[in-house]
A and B are shown apart, each in its own frame.
Chain A
Amino acid sequence: MNSNGSEYVLQMKGITKQFPGVTALDSVDFIVRQNEIHALIGENGAGKSTLVKIVSGVIQQNDGQIFFNKNLMTIRNPQHAQSIGISTIFQELHLIPDLSVGENILLGREPKRKFRLVDWKALHQTANSILQEIDLELDTHAIVRNLSIAQKQMVMIARALSLQASLIIMDEPTATLTPLEIDSLFKLIRNLQDKGKTVIFISHKLDEVFEISERITVLRDGKLVNTLATKDTSKDEVIQLMVGRTLDEEFPDRTPVIGNEMIAVREISTGKGISNISFNIRSGEVIGLFGLVGAGRTEVVRAIFGIDRLSSGEIFLDRKPVKIGSPKDAISHGIAFATEDRKSQGLILGMSVKENITLPNMNAVTVFSFVKHHSEKQTVESYIEKLNIKTPNLDQEALKLSGGNQQKVVIARWLCAKPKVLILDEPTQGIDVGAKREIYLLINELVKQGLAILMISSELPEILAMSDRILVMHRGRITGEFSKNEATPENVMACAAGLVR
């Protein structure tokens, strides 16, 4: 490897970042050349986001050095990163929705007239010239709230350019774009390269990475596995590097033993955009619910769990129609729901592991609502052992556990409530590979005991490997149903994209 460094725009050496209970990055050496399009890939939890946050000053590394344009840098905060020429376009776009495109591009740097009043004419002219520079057609007077996500991204990119960014980082920019929008984004990225910019492109979609990048860096479990020239490698090789093992190792086998129907929903619709959803789940069965972001998967679950009101349709448990008006009703009917966002909707982060686990089922550990501390402790200990939750003690704050162990706490909590139907929304999101496998083993164990499981996931391999049946949603409707044998990545994806009816 060339080590004189003259052509490197960014050089990170031995970057290590620890969060409570987990090492997110483990002495990563990451090098980006001047004027290249560099793809950074890896599975969820591989450390991509952490690396990006360090480069863009959102968080600081515990150890290691960063050289930017050959200068040793301590990137103190996002403003500092921007001032030295590093701009990051995060997934959640940091725009002010009620201001215009022009105001957003030049936010905080508005051209001024006399008495420090904003020179609106100059503002829109400047914004316009930036947009033209990269061939973007966008009205600078348009209000950002009314733009599509793709257009908002373009505003962010224009803002980066107006900040004289030389290194532009895009964190999964294609995640919520249509194929057409992705094409125009790629055109824009190449355009940026022609203008002399360097781009780091983060994705876990290999097709895109191979289309746009010149070099690929693969992260796995917080370590940098390799950096390869795109033209010298293959998708298979990259997958191998990302996963580090073959797929059948990743997903443990299960012989399904399927029993009676546990829950059925018939033609349910809600005001939140799902319509005429029907399916059932039987004892011992895992149903995978797949769809792209915004397809309405979580909304289906929210309806079943009594969070959103049904506008029509019925829910049956043990073949009897039931009314579910609140999560409390749902729980009393034996439904448990491990939410997608563990931190904001699942755990009470400031409470202990013990308190989190017994929370929905305090009746089991109280007499006349007085806590039986000894029996609570025993109950919790048994689940910690059963689920192999790694925690120094029962009174550890949930906040301080790693993602995988937090997820296990959420599952333990629901098992404690002895459910018949368990809904898991993105159960392996943001947890490392080893912990994922443990979650899969747990799912297998639970269905073996006769539970009915509904699993929502955005990861196609996970859905294909773990589900006995797969339901695919697009725009609030079910557009496909497959048995395990029928399902292929192609036909499931086609339904998710709305290409098949």
Chain B
Amino acid sequence: MRKFLHQYGILIVLGIMVVIMSFLSPRFLTISNFFNISRQISVMAIVAVGMTFVILSAGIDLSVGSIVAVTGIMISFFVQKADLSILIAVMGGLLISLVVGLTNGILIAKVKIPFFIVTLATMVIGRGICFIITGGFPISQLGESFQKVGRGYISFFPVPVLIMLMVYLVAYVILHHTSFGRYVYAIGGNEEASKLVGLSVDRIKIFIYGICGLTSGIGALILTSRMNSGDPNMGTGMELDAIAATVIGGTSITGGKGWIWGTLIGAYIMGILNNGLNMLNVSAYYQMAVKGLVILIAVRLQRGLEVE
């Protein structure tokens, strides 16, 4: 029972929120609003997948928002200025995001700079590069077909939501059905012991940050397509939302413990909050404060369940 509450306690929190919102607004509990929320959270939720890998390994990645911007701008640049085919532009963008992530990993694992410092630095550098490339102006008008990624539907499912679910499914398989996933938990649980059982801790860490870069890139792809432009300001503050979704979802900030579906639930909790507060016409300033409070309460509730 205790284990059940620990793992599913967050579902209860989500359930309570849904019930409250349904009472407060009749428009809340509709399929179209559900897809609406899902589409709104999809970018951040995908970025949070990589963040979950990183936090499970007892790290943190502050650079995800900047990776989103760099990737978005590079894809826009490839499509609009370099006039490459969409497929190549997208592949190029994702490759760049992967490389930035791997670079984070190498600086952390091999050069031995603390993860907080490394990702703080790449966050600032990345943002700087965006402004250098664009001169501060968005690269827009990316063409009709490119917008399908962010705005299209397959039957009545929004494409971004389908991409999000696929990313979660792949992450679930990696974390729970491969040896690599096992190693992610092991490193976060006890890095010293992991070394002593012969794990290549450095290499695993580099991959973890690589994954985090790549999911940021996938998020960037959707965001760029939806906005129909690459903006040097895109993804600002997304690292905090992604961290919030991850810890609300029950992943221990000290690593070694967590649940990938929890992160998705965490993302929904944040999404419902945004959506609900908008429906209730709460001003954006209050929304920020409420969001912070909900993070505290959600995490505290889980800890409470854990202790009792």
Q: Is the CB of A348 within 8 A of B194?
A: yes
Chain B: interface residue total (CB-CB under 8 A): 21
- Give CA–CA (A345, B192) in the complex, Å: 6
Q: Is the CB of A366 within 8 A of B195?
A: no
A330 contact set on B, CB distance < 8 A:
198
Known: A369-B179, A370-B177. Contact between A339 and B186, CB under 8 A?
no
B193 contact set on A, CB distance < 8 A:
339, 344-348
B165-188 CB contacts (< 8 Å) to partner A? 177-180, 182-183, 185-186
**Is B22 at the interface (CB under 8 A from chain A)?**
no
In-complex Cβ contact of A328 among B189, B192, B198 (8 A): B198
**Is A327 at the interface (CB under 8 A from chain B)?**
yes
B185-237 CB contacts (< 8 Å) to partner A? 185-186, 189-190, 192-200
In-complex Cβ contact of B200 among A328, A351, A355, A358 (8 A): A328
In-complex Cβ contact of B256 among A327, A351, A359, A363 (8 A): A351
Chain A: interface residue total (CB-CB under 8 A): 30
Known: A337-B196, A339-B196, A351-B185. Contact between A370 and B190, CB under 8 A?
no
Interface mask (A356-391 → B, CB under 8 Å = 1, otherwise 0): 001110110010011101000000000000000000
Tell me, rounded to whole Å, the shortest Cβ–Cβ distance linking B91 to chain A: 25
**Is B257 at the interface (CB under 8 A from chain A)?**
yes
Tell me, rounded to whole Å, the shortest Cβ–Cβ distance linking B108 to chain A: 18
- Give CA–CA (A348, B195) in the complex, Å: 11
Q: Is the CB of A371 within 8 A of B190?
A: no
Q: Is the CB of B177 within 8 A of A351?
A: no
Q: Is the CB of A347 within 8 A of B190?
A: yes
Q: Is the CB of B178 within 8 A of A366?
A: yes
Query: From B186, which residue of chain A is reached at the shortest CB distance?
Result: A348
A358 contact set on B, CB distance < 8 A:
182
Which of B178, B189, B195 has most A Cβ within 10 Å?
B189
Q: Is the CB of B189 within 8 A of A413?
A: no
Tell me, rounded to whole Å, the shortest Cβ–Cβ distance linking A345 to chain B: 5
- Give CA–CA (A331, B199) in the complex, Å: 10
**Is A349 at the interface (CB under 8 A from chain B)?**
yes
In-complex Cβ contact of A327 among B178, B183, B189, B198 (8 A): B198
Query: From B189, which residue of chain A is reached at the shortest CB distance?
Result: A348
Tell me, rounded to whole Å, the shortest Cβ–Cβ distance linking B59 to chain A: 16
Q: Is the CB of A346 within 8 A of B196?
A: yes
**Is A294 at the interface (CB under 8 A from chain B)?**
no
In-complex Cβ contact of B189 among A326, A349, A369 (8 A): A349
- Give CA–CA (A346, B196) in the complex, Å: 8
**Is A265 at the interface (CB under 8 A from chain B)?**
no
A305 contact set on B, CB distance < 8 A:
196
Tell me, rounded to whole Å, the shortest Cβ–Cβ distance linking B43 to chain A: 29
Q: Is the CB of A359 within 8 A of B178?
A: no
Q: Is the CB of B196 within 8 A of A345?
A: yes
- Give CA–CA (A359, B200) in the complex, Å: 12
- Give CA–CA (A351, B257) in the complex, Å: 8
Tell me, rounded to whole Å, the shortest Cβ–Cβ distance linking A205 to chain B: 31
**Is A487 at the interface (CB under 8 A from chain B)?**
no
- Give CA–CA (A345, B189) in the complex, Å: 11
A253-302 CB contacts (< 8 Å) to partner B? none
Q: Is the CB of A350 within 8 A of B197?
A: no
B145-180 CB contacts (< 8 Å) to partner A? 177-180
In-complex Cβ contact of B182 among A344, A349, A371 (8 A): A371
Q: Is the CB of B179 within 8 A of A351?
A: no
Query: From A362, which residue of chain B is reached at the shortest CB distance?
Result: B179
- Give CA–CA (A370, B173) in the complex, Å: 9
**Is A465 at the interface (CB under 8 A from chain B)?**
no
**Is A212 at the interface (CB under 8 A from chain B)?**
no
- Give CA–CA (A332, B197) in the complex, Å: 11
B194 contact set on A, CB distance < 8 A:
348, 359
B6-32 CB contacts (< 8 Å) to partner A? none
**Is A307 at the interface (CB under 8 A from chain B)?**
yes
A-B contact pairs, 20 of them (CB 8 A): A328-B198, A330-B198, A331-B198, A332-B198, A344-B190, A345-B192, A346-B193, A348-B189, A348-B194, A349-B189, A350-B185, A350-B189, A350-B257, A351-B189, A351-B256, A355-B185, A359-B182, A359-B197, A360-B197, A371-B178
- Can you list the 5 inter-chain pairs with the closest CB atoms, starting with the nearest? A362-B179, A348-B189, A360-B197, A331-B198, A328-B198
Known: A345-B196, A359-B182, A362-B183. 6 other contacts (CB 8 A): A328-B199, A339-B193, A344-B193, A345-B192, A347-B190, A369-B179
Residues of A within 8 A of B (CB): 305, 307, 326-328, 330-332, 337, 339, 344-351, 355, 358-360, 362-363, 366, 369-371, 373, 413
